[in-house]
Structures are given as C-alpha cells and as structure tokens.
Structure 1
Amino acid sequence: MRPLIRPLIYLVLLAFTFSVKAGDLSQDEALRLREAGRILPLENVLAIIAARHPGSRLLEVELEEEDDIYIYEVELITSQGTVRELEIAAASGDVLKDEEED
C-alpha cells in the first residue's frame, strides 16, 4: 500500500496545479462557444488587432472566462518591437485593455 502513496500525492498536486488556471478555456469549449454564437471567431479578433496595430506579429492568444465574461487575451509584438498585451471582449470585439508589457 505504501508504494501507492507517493504517486497519489503527485496526482493530487498535479490536479491542483491544473485547477489554478481554470479560467483558461479548452479548444473544445472555444469551438462550442463559437458555434453557439457566444464568442467571435478568432479571425475577427485578429482583424481588430491588425487594424489597431498594423504590421504586428502575434505571440500568444488565450480565451479566458473572467466573471462570466469571455475574453481573448492577446500578446503581440508591434512593428517597432514593443510587446503589447490586449484584452478583447470575445462576444463584442470591444478592446478592454491595450498596454505595453513590462
């Protein structure tokens, strides 16, 4: 019975680690929300970003849920070499945050 204790502790710690980032949504959940019309397609969000920051390159995109609001969190590098973080309301495309990353 003792040999099972250590692996069980690791599994519990691993499960806790994944639950800390529970605000991030899976690809399956994002697809379900898009098909239901609850969030904009990523292509629309990328068009908003391109209009706001022409020539920028995408570094990372995450779909998160914060207080029952879906938000695309985007990190990009501008044509001037500045890294920016944006938060875009996934349902409307409204830019909630656009600031230079430290």
Structure 2
Amino acid sequence: MKVNLRTSSRLALVLLAFCSMVAARDLNQDEALALRQQGVILALEQLLQQAMSRHPGSRLLEAELETKHGRYVYEVELVTTEGVVREIKLDATTGALLKDEEDD
C-alpha cells in the first residue's frame, strides 16, 4: 500500500490536535460554577483548604479547573514559606490528591 506523504502529514496533524484536545482543557468560571451547582465537583474553597494545609503558611498563586482524560482536576500552585513553588493536583470530584510536587 502506497501512502501519500502529504496525506499522512495532514493525518498526523489532525491526530495531534485531537489528542491535545482530549488530553486537557481548562474550564472557565461559568463551567466550574455549573458543575459545582450540579454536584459534579466539590467546592473550590474545600479543595484549596486541603491543598494549603499540606504546606502551612503557604500563599496561593493560582488555581484552575481542567478536564483531563475525562476527569475534573483542580491544579493549585502555591509558594511555601521557604519560597518553593508547589504544584498540587486534586481530583475535583472526590478531593483525592493526585500530585504534589515542586514546580519547575
């Protein structure tokens, strides 16, 4: 079977775009509010408290809700009292800790 290089390049680009869309997407505040009101995700305040309690005295830098592989995830970035930036990921539905590591 002979494959046209131009066709295979287009197919590769389409697959790459599709995979990146499926992999992760940031949700806006309206989407987050609707999911919270529907009981799909936990309250951000509850999850922030959980994240911040892992590193007492830390300051919040950023929090965002994303969907990744069909799962809602809160990604929280904070700076510890030692000045280290941490990235904490929590399952937005269950509150389970998914990751807590030093951010690059």
Q: Shorter-chain TM-score category? A: 0.7 to 0.9
* Match of residue 27 from structure 1: 29
Q: How far 1:50 moved relative to its partner?
A: 2.3
Q: For each residue in 1:12-47, what CA deviation from the matched residue of structure 2 results, as whole angstroms up to 9, or x when unmatched?
A: xxxxxxxx7x70001110000000111011110111
1:91 aligns with 2:93: yes
CA contact (8 A) 2:87 2:99 kept: yes
Gaps of 5+ in 2: 1-20
SS in 1 for 2:26: coil
Which residue number in structure 2 is paired with residue 69 of structure 1?
Answer: 71
Matches within 5 A, 1:41-52: 41-52=43-54
Take 1:49 and 1:87, find their aligned partners in 2: how far apart are those partners?
8
Query: In the aligned structure 2, how far is the partner of 1:86 from the partner of 1:50?
Result: 9
Instruction: Provide the C-alpha distance between the structure 2 equivalents of 1:42 and 1:23, rounded to a whole number of angstroms.
Output: 18
CA distance in 1, matches of 2:66, 2:102: 20
How many percent identity over aligned positions?
57
What's the TM-score, normalizing by structure 1? 0.77
Note the alpha carbon deviations across 1:65-91, whole angstroms, 9 max, x for none: 011100001110011110011110000
C-alpha distance in 2, partners of 1:27/1:80? 31
Q: For residue 103 of structure 2, what is the aligned residue in structure 1?
A: 101
How many pairs are equivalent?
85
2:60 aligned to which of 58, 61, 67: 58
Partner AA of 2:85 in structure 1: V
SS in 2 for 1:73: strand
Moved over 6 A (4+): none
